[in-house]
Amino acid sequence: MKKRLLLFALVSAAVYAADKPNIVVIMADDMGFEDTGFTGSEDIRTPNLDRLAAEGVVFEQGYANHPFCGPSRAAFITGRYQHRFGFETNPAYDPANTALGLDRDEITFARRLQDAGYTTGVIGKWHLGSAEDFHPLNRGFDYFYGFLGGGHDYFRIDLTAPVKEGYLQGLVRNKQPAGFEGYLTTALSRDAVQFVENNKEDPFFLFVSFNCPHAPQQAPKEDIARYAHIQDSKRRAYCAMVDIMDQGVGEIIQALERNGVRDNTLVVFTADNGGPQPRDGKTGGWNGSSNAPFRGGKGNLYDGGVHVPFMANWPAKFPKGKRYRYPVISLDIGRTAVEIGGGDPMTGKPMEGVNLLPYVTGQKKGAPHEALFWRGGSNWSVLASDGTKHLKDRDSKKPQLFYLPGDVSESNDLLNKQPERAAALRAAWEKWDEGNVACRLLGYKDYHKKRDAFYEQAVPEASKKEGYKPQLKDTFKP
């Protein structure tokens, strides 16, 4: 009898695991909206992303939670507005700072999936704190390969260089130093393939967190040469970077197919924010991206900063070739993942996203959200489900009102014509903002200035003299 019960338990567990979908989220970094084929690009080759989009669901109004990297990823990984826990700027890279990262009280949706029986992995960029407390393996992930800061050189590691933001620091595999060979994006893609190979027997969640096409604009010469017809050198390199990322996406999909798990795997592709654009006639900060047809770019609350490529593909459940038109946001990815994986989105601090499955299948009608909200310092934005958007952007200096379905470039300000509508949206934003706290992090530039000033003051005057030899009594005591 005991043997039969044990056998029944094992079979039941196997069936239960088989029913759980695998989940793969692929996120690009600083990518322009127009820079995939499925969003309109005519000069970058993205056949693998285009195929996923054609055979899945494209969210035509897909949004990131913030117009730049760290806060957007903090919201994504928790499924909660990052303003609820004061993560409103990019944290500096400082492995010694145990306060500079994702609030310890926040539960990542990777942790919720772990509790539901998933093996979890993140590959690539972290940017949610570089001290031990914030390490991915301490925040719900079973496996990590990548870098803890906000970016990295695509070809080299140089441990003799100044640390600064860690762009030349070594990579990390789990909690051990690691490196990479060749081109970084390709190395990350291949590691993602290996993760699939290693975990194909049980349900898994894999976050492929590319830093591509974030600066520096680097790609192998032979790949750049394939875009020789593009006149601008920065755009050429950018196109090659996105092309290589798309090839990596293809390798990950092939690994899912080769291991017989493709049909029951939800694959989501999006970006953390829009591509950086020229400002004040200067192109130095531009990374070669195009956010057409939208206004603005990284750092803006205009759609160019937050309206991103966003699509999902799940052969077993999602319709093929669907264009979903209501606004959705990156918060929804984690909530969808947790609910389809059998996890609990409400324990601890409840998730704020929406499970998109019943909406894309037509089981639920109407919009998933009455409104979406953004905040960045003194700037703010609210987007209603009908496409009416009220905001104050860093470049506008004053509030504006747009109706996006008829004005995607946000060029026709309706504020004077519809003041009551603007007032209602502003009231909704203020109600949402009541649940927020002030940003508790310094931006990385301000942080480095303060840290450098601290150490400058800590150096004894005697040590600045030529020929000085440090004495034990001169060492700095905190």
Question: pLDDT by residue (tens digit) across 214-243?
Answer: 999 999 999 999 999 999 999 999 999 999
Let me know if residue 392 belongs to a domain.
no
The CATH number of residue 292's host domain is 3.40.720.10
Q: What is the DSSP letter of 136?
A: G
For residue 219, what are its two tokens? 């790609």
Contacts 24+ apart (CB under 8 A), 40-47: 40/292, 41/290, 43/227, 43/230, 43/239, 44/239, 44/242, 44/243, 45/243, 45/246, 46/242, 46/243, 46/246, 47/246, 47/250
Say if residue 106's pLDDT is above 90.
yes
SS3 label, residue 88: coil
Residue 280 has a pLDDT of 85
Which one has a higher pLDDT value, 461 or 399?
399
Residues of the domain holding 264: 20-360
Strands, E assignment, 16-138:
22-28, 57-59, 62-63, 119-125
Task: Indicate the residue among 295, 329, 360 that finishes a domain.
Answer: 360
- Distances in Å between the alpha carbon of 107 and those of 26, 93, 343? 20, 22, 12
Closest CA to 368 of 357, 378, 377: 357
Residues 173 and 32 in one domain: yes
Residues 464 and 323 in one domain: no
Residues 280 and 180 in one domain: yes
Residue 160 has a pLDDT of 96
Closest CA to 143 of 192, 76, 93, 201: 192
Is residue 44 within 8 Å of residue 37, measured between CB atoms? yes
Q: Looking at residues 30-34, what average pLDDT do you find?
A: 98
Look-up of token digits 């826990």: 85
Let me know if residue 434 belongs to a domain.
no
8-12, 56-60, 84-88, 270-274 — which is least confidently predicted? 8-12
Let me know if residue 397 belongs to a domain.
no
**C-alpha–C-alpha distance, residues 391 and 383, integer Å:** 8
Residues 142 and 260 in one domain: yes
Q: Looking at residues 42-53, what average pLDDT do you find?
A: 97
Which one has a higher pLDDT value, 429 or 17?
429
pLDDT in tens, 304-356: 999 999 999 999 999 999 999 999 999 999 999 999 999 999 999 999 999 99
Give 255's contacts (C-beta < 8 A, 6+ positions apart). 192, 193, 196, 197
Other Cβ atoms less than 10 A from the Cβ of 138: the count is 14
**C-alpha–C-alpha distance, residues 313 and 263, integer Å:** 10
pLDDT band at 386 (very low <50, low <70, confident <90, very high): very high
Let me know if residue 11 belongs to a domain.
no
Let me know if residue 385 belongs to a domain.
no
470: preceding bond cis by omega (within 30 degrees): no
pLDDT in tens, 419-444: 999 999 999 999 999 999 999 998 88
Is residue 121 within 8 Å of residue 199, measured between CB atoms? yes
Q: How many folded domains does the chain comprise?
A: 2
Say if residue 3's pLDDT is above 80.
no
Residues 150 and 242 in one domain: yes
The one-letter code for the residue type at 414 is: L
Residues 166 and 70 in one domain: yes
Task: Indicate the residue among 339, 360, 381 that finishes a domain.
Answer: 360
Give 478's contacts (C-beta < 8 A, 6+ positions apart). none
Could you give the residue numbers annotated as active site? Answer: 69, 127
Other Cβ atoms less than 10 A from the Cβ of 415: the count is 14
Q: Which residues pair with 431 in a beta bridge?
A: none
Say if residue 40's pLDDT is above 90.
yes
Residue 469 has a pLDDT of 56
Task: Indicate the residue among 360, 378, 400 that finishes a domain.
Answer: 360
Closest CA to 159 of 131, 179, 130, 135: 179
pLDDT band at 383 (very low <50, low <70, confident <90, very high): very high
Residues 216 and 324 in one domain: yes
pLDDT in tens, 270-316: 999 999 999 888 888 999 999 999 999 999 999 999 999 999 999 99
Q: Which residues pair with 267 in a beta bridge?
A: 24, 313
Q: How many residues does the chain have?
A: 478
Sheet holding 171-173, edge to edge: 176-178, 171-173, 143-147, 119-125, 204-209, 22-28, 265-271, 310-313, 57-59, 322-324
Let me know if residue 410 belongs to a domain.
no
Residues 323 and 469 in one domain: no
Let me know if residue 305 belongs to a domain.
yes
Residue 423 has a pLDDT of 98
Q: Looking at residues 172-185, what average pLDDT do you find?
A: 97
Task: Give the whole-number percent of the chain exceeding pLDDT 90.
Answer: 87
Let me know if residue 213 belongs to a domain.
yes
Is residue 9 within 8 Å of residue 226, measured between CB atoms? no
Say if residue 28's pLDDT is above 60.
yes
SS3 label, residue 471: coil
Q: pLDDT averaged over the chain?
A: 93
Say if residue 1's pLDDT is above 80.
no
For residue 185, what are its two tokens? 């994006």
